[in-house]
Amino acid sequence: MALVSSSSQYDRFSIAANELQDHIVDIYGNKENELELFRPSLADHHKVGFFTLDRCSQTDVTEVVELKDMTEVLQLLLKDVHKMKRDINLTKSVMQADYEAKVQEKATELYCRINEKVAELERIHEDRVSTVRKAFRQQLADAVARLAVLYNKNLENKMQKEKQKQAGDQYLLDEKYRELQQTIQQNQNVIAMLKMQLSAYQQSKMDLESNVEADPKVIESASPSERPSNNSPASIQSPISQKSKSPLAPPPNLPPPPPPKEAKKPKKSKPPPPPEPAREKSFPKAVTPETKIESVSMRTPSPQFNQELEDLRVEVEDLNVKVNNLQDQVDNKDDENKKLDQQIETLNQELDQEKMKFDKINKDLENTKKAAENEKASSEKLTFKDIRQFTKMDKQRAEMERMFQQKLQKAQEEAEANAQRESIAQQSAEKDKVKLLQDQKKLLEEQLAKERKKNQEKAEMDTDIDKYVKNEKRLKEEIERLKREIERVHRTWEKKFAILQQSLHALKDESYIRQTLQRQAAALHHAAVSYAVDTPMGILPTSKINSPIKKPVIPDIGRGRQQPPPQPSQGQPLNVGGVLGEKDYISYTVSAPSGRGTAMFSVDENQVMSEGEDDLPVDVQPLPDPPSRPSRELVTDGTPTEKEKARLHFEGQKT
């Protein structure tokens, strides 16, 4: 645009300058001297050296106007240059502003795209996290269900074992308790019997003493069968010794003591039992009796009666020893009863502890139910499959709870009925189990947190790695594409340059051949017909033609051509391969080519490209094959024809 405006201004200025010159010429005339008045020559006033004027510039008078015009044009061009600079600066500012706006727009678009991509990645990550959470929740629910089943199985087995153990212990305790009750009852019966015997013995002793004090002659006048001396000391024991044989029998109901006369009648009707000396010796005598019976202070005149009294005293002491032993046994039984009462209290306490434990288990079960309900309420966006699984799990949990409640109720009833006892070892084992479950729960939570963190880091790492791998792959592909493009361009330009070099060489060869042919044609226009002789006639070469082998700068365009070896004439060497030998004998011709239209040379002389097309690039089409060269005509006698001779001559001159 600026160039068009400057050219139009220059045209207007040149038109105005021509009009001004024409107007001045019309005023002052068309004479040389008048023109010199206002157009002096610069060479007349141009001084270069110190002593003389230098007129080597040779400026004519007419050149001043052209210089002025050129000066004005230069000034106009300078103005145009300044204007163009201003326009360029303005355009640069506009382009820079446009570029900044586009960069800002691209940056905003890139920022939006990055934000959208980040939001999408966050959404994908949240979906993955939710999926992982659901999976781990399902695994946790399965693990809890499995633990519940195992716990119920172990609890049932333990309850069965404890039930069997308690049933056996209860049976043994019942047997022992019944035996102890029987023993206590027997001891009480023995004590009551002994007390009755003791009271009867004391009563009979008192009656006997009263009778002796009242009438001592009654005893002496008695029959020998009724005297006490006729009886052994064991015979005086009457019903006491008789009842002492069976201590487990209930005590008889003895009547009150009769008067002395009537007391002798039952002795007659009931003879005394036989003596039992072995039984009397079996009683221990080392124990001193606590209750002492007052000895008879009165001595009867009969020594036999005194002996009987001594025997009775000894027997009474033995009976006192037996009573003391029985009292000790009763005390021992009381102690055993106290111990049994303590054991019953201990069992009651253990039963209370078992009840408290079952209450705690019920509370834990309620807490587990609440936690399950909270977990169920906190789950979001459950699919139909998840809902079906949770429904199935709820049914299983309800069935398990019902079964657990039945088992628990049954266990409570059996525990309350049979007074279960739980040992300290089992309590410690339960505590260890609870602690182990808590530790496992903590371990599972830690593993879940680690897995979440690992999944998050892995997702971020995979995203970054994928991005870097894609970027690296894209850059590698771009580098490979640019390398292939550079190689293709290099091959194309190398081929073009080789083609140009070969074309230039072909043009030079063609120009040289044409000039040579023209000169040769001009020289042979006036040639006369002559005959060949044995000795050569005409112009002979005066000096040896040197043909130095020069290495071509550019590749030979005719390297693919193969020339057949020339047929030598009789006694004359020919040019081989375009190089003359030591002597070049020019063959004489009858006629010469007429000029440029001669068909002396083959078509291969003007070939530009070589026949080797192996180094062509992939995207460049190969050149067509060269035409076939016509066969050379030789005479039948082996000598070359006229055309062959002329061609060999021109090749020798060219070389």
**Among 489, 618, 617, 509, residue whose Cα is nearest residue 501:** 509
Place of tokens 């139009």: 8
DSSP string, 556-607: PTTTT--PPPP--BTTB---BTTB--S--PPPP-S----STT---S-GGGG-
Q: What is the pTM of this model?
A: 0.20
As a whole number, mean pLDDT of residues 336-350 equals: 83
As a whole number, mean pLDDT of residues 267-288 equals: 40
**pLDDT at residue 63, rounded to an integer:** 57
As a whole number, mean pLDDT of residues 279-293 equals: 39
**pLDDT at residue 354, rounded to an integer:** 78
Between 303 and 410, the higher pLDDT residue: 410
Asked if 315 and 280 touch (Cβ cutoff 8 Å), the reply is yes
**Among 613, 610, 600, 604, residue whose Cα is nearest residue 642:** 600
Q: Is the pLDDT of residue 228 over 50?
A: no
Say which amino acid occupies 478.
E
Q: How confident is the model at residue 108 (pLDDT cuts 50, 70, 90)?
A: very high
Q: What are the distances in angstroms from CA 584 to CA 562, 648, 651?
A: 22, 10, 11
Q: 9: how many CB neighbours lie within 10 A of its CB?
A: 15
Q: How confident is the model at residue 282 (pLDDT cuts 50, 70, 90)?
A: very low
Alpha carbon distance 586, 653 (integer Å): 10
Q: Is the pLDDT of residue 455 over 70?
A: yes
Q: If you compute the radius of gyration of the chain from its CA atoms, what whole number of angstroms results?
A: 78
Q: Measured at the alpha carbon of residue 32, what is the angle toward residues 28 and 33, in degrees to the nearest 5?
A: 75
**pLDDT at residue 557, rounded to an integer:** 44
Q: Is the pLDDT of residue 180 over 70?
A: yes
**pLDDT at residue 581, rounded to an integer:** 41
Q: How confident is the model at residue 414 (pLDDT cuts 50, 70, 90)?
A: confident
Q: How confident is the model at residue 247 (pLDDT cuts 50, 70, 90)?
A: very low
As a whole number, mean pLDDT of residues 442-469 equals: 82
Q: At what angle do helices 384-418 and 63-214 cross, to 10 degrees?
A: 20
Residues 558-563: contacts with CB within 8 Å, 24+ apart?
A: 558/604, 558/605, 558/607, 559/610, 559/612, 560/610, 560/611, 560/612, 560/626, 561/604, 561/629
- 4-8, 152-156, 444-448: least confidently modelled range: 4-8
**pLDDT at residue 592, rounded to an integer:** 43
As a whole number, mean pLDDT of residues 414-431 equals: 69
The most confident of 54-68, 359-373, 543-557, by mean pLDDT:
359-373
Q: Is the pLDDT of residue 259 over 50?
A: no
**pLDDT at residue 574, rounded to an integer:** 44
- 294-303, 380-389, 426-435, 534-543: least confidently modelled range: 294-303
Q: What are the distances in angstroms from CA 11 to CA 7, 65, 583?
A: 6, 17, 71
Q: Is the pLDDT of residue 207 over 80?
A: yes
Q: How confident is the model at residue 223 (pLDDT cuts 50, 70, 90)?
A: very low
**pLDDT at residue 6, rounded to an integer:** 56
Asked if 295 and 314 touch (Cβ cutoff 8 Å), the reply is no
Q: Is the pLDDT of residue 600 over 70?
A: no
Q: Which two tokens stand for residue 193?
A: 């019997």
As a whole number, mean pLDDT of residues 129-142 equals: 93
Q: Is the pLDDT of residue 24 over 50?
A: yes
Alpha carbon distance 504, 554 (integer Å): 10
Q: How confident is the model at residue 202 (pLDDT cuts 50, 70, 90)?
A: confident
Q: What is the mean pLDDT of the chain?
A: 68
Q: Is the pLDDT of residue 156 over 60?
A: yes
Q: How confident is the model at residue 51 (pLDDT cuts 50, 70, 90)?
A: low
Q: How confident is the model at residue 425 (pLDDT cuts 50, 70, 90)?
A: low
- Sequence-separated (6 or more) residues with CB below 8 Å from residue 326: 187, 190, 191, 194
Between 589 and 16, the higher pLDDT residue: 16
Q: 559: how many CB neighbours lie within 10 A of its CB?
A: 11
Q: How confident is the model at residue 112 (pLDDT cuts 50, 70, 90)?
A: very high
- 396-405, 451-460, 483-492: least confidently modelled range: 396-405
**Greatest alpha-carbon span in the chain:** 232
- Sequence-separated (6 or more) residues with CB below 8 Å from residue 20: none
Residues 567-571: contacts with CB within 8 Å, 24+ apart?
A: 567/634, 567/638, 567/639, 567/640, 569/638, 569/639, 569/640, 570/639
Q: Is the pLDDT of residue 152 over 80?
A: yes
**Among 516, 526, 522, residue whose Cα is nearest residue 600:** 516
**pLDDT at residue 109, rounded to an integer:** 93
Say which amino acid occupies 586.
I
Between 213 and 439, the higher pLDDT residue: 439
pLDDT above 90 covers a percentage of the chain that reads: 12
**pLDDT at residue 556, rounded to an integer:** 44
Q: How confident is the model at residue 128 (pLDDT cuts 50, 70, 90)?
A: very high
Q: Is the pLDDT of residue 610 over 70?
A: no
Terminal Cα distance for the chain, rounded? 58
Q: What is the 3-state secondary structure (H, E, C) of 519-559?
A: HHHHHCCCCCCCCCCCCCCCCCCCCCCCCCCCCCCCCCCCC
The most confident of 128-142, 316-330, 507-521, by mean pLDDT:
128-142
Burial of residue 148 (CB within 10 Å: 0-12, 13-18, 19+) is middle
Q: Which two tokens stand for residue 258?
A: 């009769």
Q: Is the pLDDT of residue 440 over 70?
A: yes
Alpha carbon distance 176, 605 (integer Å): 142
- 154-168, 222-236, 339-353, 509-523: least confidently modelled range: 222-236
